[in-house]
Amino acid sequence: MRVLITEDDENLRVALEGALRGAGFAVDTAADLPFADEALFVNSYDCVVFDRMLPSGDSLPYVRARRARGWSVPVLFLTARDTEADRVAGLRVGGGDYLVKPFAMPELVARVRNLCRVGLVGPPSVLRCADVELDPGRHRVTRGGVLLTLARKEFLVLQRLMATPGVAVARQDLLSAGAWDEAADPASNVLDVVIAALRRKLHEPPLIHTVRGVGYLISG
């Protein structure tokens, strides 16, 4: 699960990032709304944590505007404003939860995890390419009816490739799909190691192909 933290207090931002990473989340951070807006344009998130008061203003109108355009990612507001009116205002604009500072990190992690689960909509469809079937709901991959054992990142990368068979997927998109955060360098070999493992586990004939200068695609 991938989370975006938007918080201008550097010490708190680093602490939040560390707590969520330690709980197994992929985490990106932004210090203000323009940076958050850019991250949201580029990446997909399971939950976004917004401090209410940021250098560019209150994040509440920003979330309200995005909700009006159909944005549905769960949001947790952080704030020192603890009146009932403030809490109700946060929930009315589409905030899924509202946590008042100071707070305990374990509570924040639990609330973020719950929001990520709320954002999951029904069991995903089974993906197919040639004789490979990937069932996201059961976390199960077979080829020719034979069950394959994949590591988590291998499964996530294969799932992204199989979502668009025959279409090249950029390296950065595959890194995001594999729950590496945006600090991961597309030029590094971490993705290539996963692709090599997938090719080996999928056996012959090969299904995953390299598209030079772009990334990879799956077809068969």
Q: What is the pLDDT along the chain (220 residues), one digit of tens a residue?
A: 899 999 999 999 999 999 999 999 999 999 999 999 999 888 888 899 999 999 998 898 888 888 766 678 899 999 887 777 777 777 777 778 888 888 999 999 999 998 887 755 444 578 899 999 998 777 899 999 999 999 988 998 998 898 888 888 888 878 877 656 555 555 568 899 999 999 999 999 999 999 988 889 999 8
Residues of the chain with CATH 3.40.50.2300: 2-118
Going 33 to 34 to 40 to 45, the CA torsion angle's sign is negative
Residues of the chain with CATH 1.10.10.10: 127-218
Structure tokens at 200: 């080996």
Identity (one letter) of the amino acid at 92? R
Q: CA geometry: angle at 158 spanning 156 and 162, to 5°?
A: 120
CA 200 → CA 76, 161, 205, distances in Å?
41, 16, 11
Which CATH number is 127-218 given? 1.10.10.10
Architecture of domain 2-118: 3-Layer(aba) Sandwich (3.40)
Give this prediction's pTM. Answer: 0.55
